[in-house]
Each structure stands twice: as C-alpha cells, then as structure tokens.
C-alpha cells in the first residue's frame, strides 16, 4: 500500500491517511479481511506521530471500515468496500462541485470547462504520452 502525505495541503494528516485507506479499499488494493499495517509500522513508514495514525484508524473503526482482529491487529471489514466507494463518490462530488462553481464564476462555458476536464484527465492518467504518440503517427 502506497501513501502520499502532503503536510501543507490543508487536510489534516490523519484525514489524509484515512482517505487513502478508503481509496485503497474502494479500488481493491486492500481487500476485506486483509490486515492493515500496525500503528507503529505506518507511523515509521510515513514519518508521522503514532497518535496521528491511531486517530485515523479509530475514525475508520468508527465508520466500520476497519475492525479489530483479536491478537492480530486491524483488518478491513467485510462490508468496507461499498462504504468506501460511497465515501469516495461523495468526496469527489464535493470537490467537483467546487471546481464547477469556480469555473462558472470565472466565466467558462460548458464546452471550455469540459475540454479542460478532459485535458486534465489525460495528463493525470498518463494517457498524454499515448495520445501524443498517436497524433505523431497520424
């Protein structure tokens, strides 16, 4: 499991950890029944305070995403996938709503906005290289 913590992005580190675990579950990188790293292991890996990881894990337990496995640690709950997919959807809708509102306030047309979204999608998904290669061939 790969984590990317950005201390200066305005989102609390514990929330970044929780979100990334939810996303890993939603996309299948973490499966129901699979153990997550211990608090200490993850804290060392991310170079953060163990209390920060513990808070993320507590929040995930409260949301029934993680559950305690006596004597072993925390594992992904059986019904976590659907919960995490819904959480991911809600978060993305909130972010996209904010971006669309800003685009409208900035005077972008729907076509300009959708073109921009497509260009960003291509760049972020790594499809830019494939697209450029196809254009160069044609």
pTM of the predicted protein model: 0.74
Which DSSP letter does residue 10 get?
Answer: S
Per residue in 77-133, pLDDT tens?
A: 999 999 999 988 998 999 999 999 999 999 999 999 999 999 998 888 886 555 555
Domains of the chain, by residue range, sit at 13-81, 108-137
**pLDDT band with cut points at 50, 70 and 90 for residue 2:** confident
Per-residue pLDDT tens over the stretch 10-34: 999 999 999 999 999 999 999 999 9
Classify 13-81 by CATH class: mainly alpha
Rounded CA-CA distance 35/109 in Å is: 47
Q: Where are the beta strands (DSSP E) in the chain?
A: 66-69, 73-76
Count CA atoms closer than 13 A to 63's CA, side-chain side: 20
pLDDT at position 93 is 95
């Amino acid at each position: 499991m790969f984590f990317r913590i950005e201390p200066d992005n305005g989102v609390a580190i514990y929330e970044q950890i929780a979100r990334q675990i939810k996303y890993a579950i939603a996309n299948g990188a973490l499966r129901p029944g699979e153990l997550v790293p211990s608090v200490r292991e993850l804290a060392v890996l991310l170079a953060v305070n163990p209390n920060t990881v513990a808070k993320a894990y507590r929040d995930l337990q409260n949301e029934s995403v993680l559950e305690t496995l006596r004597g072993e640690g925390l594992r992904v709950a059986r019904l976590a996938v659907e919960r995490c997919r819904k959480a991911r959807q809600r978060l993305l809708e909130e972010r996209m709503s904010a971006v669309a509102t800003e685009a409208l306030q900035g005077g972008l047309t729907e076509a300009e906005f959708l073109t921009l979204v497509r260009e960003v999608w291509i760049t972020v998904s790594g499809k830019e290289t494939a697209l450029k290669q196809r254009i160069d061939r044609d």
